Structure 1
Amino acid sequence: MNRSSCAIVYNGNLGSEKFLIQVRWLERTAREHGLHVQVIGNQELIPGIVDGSPVIKGRYEGQEPDFFLFWDKDIRLARHLEKMGFPLYNRASCIELCDDKIRTYEQLLNEGLRLPKTLIAPLIYETCEGIDERPYETIVQELGFPMVVKEAFGSFGEQVHLVRGWEELLPLVHRLKHRPHLFQELVKSSYGRDIRLQVVGDKVVAAMMRKSEHDFRANVTAGGRMAPYEPSEREREVAVTCARLLGADFAGVDLLFGEDGEPYVCEVNSNAHFKNIHDCTGVDVAARMLEHIMSKER
């Protein structure tokens, strides 16, 4: 590749329009910033080890962009590219921390942030058929009902469950037994509403409130409505702190409303979709991301 070049990596097996529109948007924005751009599916970059050194095999072997805009969660590929010396935005460590909700919370501990009371499910090997149900008695004693159960890996709120009693809890934990998951208190003061703050560098560049009339989750995909939002200084501070602690050059930080005004950290997305927040606020987050990357590359 020529100088001033970048490669945008996306998951080549995800063909839905809501994913591809982000990729085309990033490509267009990168070209507008004068970059030579290659858009590459992750399956086209085959990591390999030859003579003890990391290499890429396939049609892009030997090509060397100035940096990768890594718009995927293929952690192994991301780490491999970094071993080859390429800068990644976001970095592999950031993507890995944000992709796993349990690791996200662990990374944010002891930093003065308000996190929902959380208990982590025990590891159950796939060879184990049964479940010792005694630990769930402790979990219910600690959190009560209703509680929130979250799978560690998931997007758009689809792996987040509201559990109202034992009759819902036990079937769910049996279904999730081989998947990492956690149990959380329900933040009742934020039922059906949250804030999405888009952080780029050390600034909140856009924010919106999401609100649902019929679901405890506020995600737009789950039926929530959007409205522009002016975050408080504390909400801005919390969002930027989360991004910094997770090593994010850019991130979507979701906050919940605390009963006393102090926000709870809900989750952090390393490659948060930006179409909805653009439609809501008019802010082109992709352009801000590229401006930030180019300033770092210079």
Structure 2
Amino acid sequence: MNQKLKIVILSRGPSLYSTRSLLRAGRERGHHISVMDHMNCDLVIDSKKPQVWYYGRNCSDIDAVIPRIGASVTAHGAAVIRQFELMNCFTTLNSEALLLTRNKLSCLQVLSGNGIDIPKTILPSTRSMAYRFLDQLKRPPYVIKVVSGTHGSGVLKADSKTSALHLLDTFSQLREMVIAQEYIEESSGKDLRIIVVGDRVVAAMERKSNTGDFRSNLHLGGSASLIKISDEERDIAIKSVHLMGLKVAGVDMLRSHRGPLVLEVNASPGLEGIEKTTGVDIAAHIIALAENHQNVSHE
């Protein structure tokens, strides 16, 4: 029988579906689980006794932390996670892995450097270099992405080299780091979202745009359906998550003529769309991950 755990969800949105689903799953499995706004955590950084305090309460008795960190507060969230790590508290999301995956360019570099196929990508240093290297992405259109964007924001399609250069110039003036990628025509408007927990895939869905947009994000009005993935897609998803140093993640993947291509690895994937689409209780799998760690550490 599993030991009852004291679990904390780090979240700024206690009413959000993902947070509520984790709360439900934790309570159904008999654990003491609560939500903490990580922006209200106080940290005592000390070589002998690192501490986290929350509204005057010392959090030294926490068994497991499940971070749900929004993109706008990534650095602060990572600092709080790191503090729990220094206290030898189990976390379902490593602080360094969070920082890595929030940068699209760094994520793609690690994946491609370890043999994971991705859409060909360039980070040009100047306009003249952009003009030169766009030719390596084959013919237009091109996909232009802000490195720090989420939920499909900061992702644009350029239908010509002139349009791509204009977008790159505009973002450069805004001091945004921007990459350009080849456009995978055969998968336009659709992709796969695959959820990995621990060492296995627990759910997968296909997302499709309903508006003619080349982006398929549910936040942009897309729809989703249950899908069976191949053994190759499963293995690539698991390898990608492990390369990022993650225990729980969503992998976004395209089906192309040359095989599966990984777009990105999301360290804090939303649960609503995929739980409702697949009927899989992903939150329960995440709670079980914390349980399994506790059981192993006490053996």
The TM-score range, normalised by the shorter chain, is 0.7 to 0.9
* Structure 2 partner of 1:133: 127
In 1, Cα distance between the equivalents of 2:162 and 2:232? 39
TM-superposed CA distance for 1:273, in Å, is: 0.6
Q: Is the 8 A contact 2:111 2:240 kept in 1?
A: yes
Cα offsets for 1:107-144 (capped at 9, x unmatched)? 2133332111111244xxxxxxxxx5222212322224
* Structure 2 partner of 1:125: none
Identify which range, 265-274 or 142-151, moves more after superposition: 142-151
TM-superposed CA distance for 1:84, in Å, is: 3.0
Cα offsets for 1:165-189 (capped at 9, x unmatched)? 2443344223322122211111112
Q: Is the 8 A contact 1:194 1:211 kept in 2?
A: yes
In 1, Cα distance between the equivalents of 2:122 and 2:57? 45
Q: Taking structure 2 as the reference length, what is the TM-score of the superposition?
A: 0.87
**Amino acid across the alignment from 1:194:** D
Q: Is the 8 A contact 1:7 1:38 kept in 2?
A: yes
Q: Is the 8 A contact 2:142 2:164 kept in 1?
A: no
* Structure 2 partner of 1:78: 81
Q: Secondary structure, in 3 states, of the residue corresponding to 2:145?
A: strand
Q: Is the 8 A contact 2:8 2:36 kept in 1?
A: yes
In 2, Cα distance between the equivalents of 1:38 and 1:224? 32
* Structure 2 partner of 1:126: none
Q: Is the 8 A contact 1:3 1:66 kept in 2?
A: no
* Structure 2 partner of 1:23: 19
- 2:232 pairs with 1:234: yes
- Aligned-residue identity in percent: 28
- 2:43 pairs with 1:47: yes
**Amino acid across the alignment from 1:150:** K
- 2:249 pairs with 1:251: yes
In 2, Cα distance between the equivalents of 1:280 and 1:38? 26
In 1, Cα distance between the equivalents of 2:157 and 2:128? 21
Q: Which runs of 5+ in 2 are unaligned?
A: none
In the alignment of these two chains, the number of paired residues is 282
**Amino acid across the alignment from 1:117:** K
Describe the shift of the 1:38–1:180 C-alpha distance in structure 2 as closer, same or farther (beyond 3 A). Answer: same
In 2, Cα distance between the equivalents of 1:258 and 1:60? 53
TM-superposed CA distance for 1:92, in Å, is: 1.0
Q: Is the 8 A contact 2:51 2:59 kept in 1?
A: no
Q: Taking structure 1 as the reference length, what is the TM-score of the superposition?
A: 0.87
* Structure 2 partner of 1:162: 157
Identify which range, 203-212 or 69-78, moves more after superposition: 69-78
* Structure 2 partner of 1:194: 191
TM-superposed CA distance for 1:66, in Å, is: 0.8
In 1, Cα distance between the equivalents of 2:178 and 2:50? 33
Once superposed, what is the RMSD of the aligned Cα atoms?
2.2
* Structure 2 partner of 1:129: none
* Structure 2 partner of 1:112: 115
Describe the shift of the 1:60–1:4 C-alpha distance in structure 2 as closer, same or farther (beyond 3 A). Answer: farther
**Amino acid across the alignment from 1:47:** L
